[in-house]
Amino acid sequence: MGKDTFHGPLERVDACCWRIPKSYKQGMRVDGLIFTDEHLLEQLKMDQAPDQVANVAFLPGIQYASLAMPDIHWGYGFCIGGVCATDPEEGGVISPGGVGYDINCGVRLMRSNLFYRDVKPHLRALVDELFRNVPTGVGRSGRYKFDKKELHNLLSQGSRYLLGRGLATPSDIEYTEAHGWLDGADPDKLSDRALMRGADQCGTLGSGNHFLEVQVVDHIFDEEAASPLGLEKDMICVMIHSGSRGLGYQVCDDALAALRNAPKKYGIELPDRQLACAPIDSPEGEHYIAAMRAAANFAWCNRQLIMQQAREVFAAVFGRSWQELQMNLIYDVCHNIAKFEEHVVEGKRKKVWVHRKGATRAFPPEHPEIPAMYRRIGQPVIIPGDMGRASWVLVGQPGSMEKTFGTTCHGAGRAMSRTAAVKDAAGRRIDKELEARGVIARAQSRKGLAEEQPKAYKNVDDVVEVVHRAGLSKKVARMRPIGVIKG
Helix ranges (DSSP H) in 142-244: 148-157, 160-164, 170-174, 192-198, 223-229
Angle CA 375–376–378, to nearest 5: 65
Contact predicate 160/153, CB 8 Å:
no
Q: Looking at beta carbons, which pairs linking 446-452 to residues 24 or more positions away fall under 8 Å? A: 447/422, 448/137, 448/207, 448/486, 448/487, 449/387, 449/425, 449/486, 450/421, 450/422, 450/424, 450/425, 451/208, 451/418, 451/421, 451/422, 452/208, 452/209, 452/211, 452/386, 452/387, 452/421, 452/486
Beta bridge partners of 343: 350
Distance between CA 426 and CA 199 in Å, rounded?
37
**Pairing, β 211-220 against β 17-20:** unpaired
Largest CA distance in the chain: 65
Count of H-run helices and E-run strands, the chain: 17, 19
Distance between CA 34 and CA 82 in Å, rounded?
9
Catalytic residue among 241, 335, 343, 410: 410
Residue 241 is a catalytic residue: no
Distance between CA 484 and CA 241 in Å, rounded?
11
Catalytic residues: 410
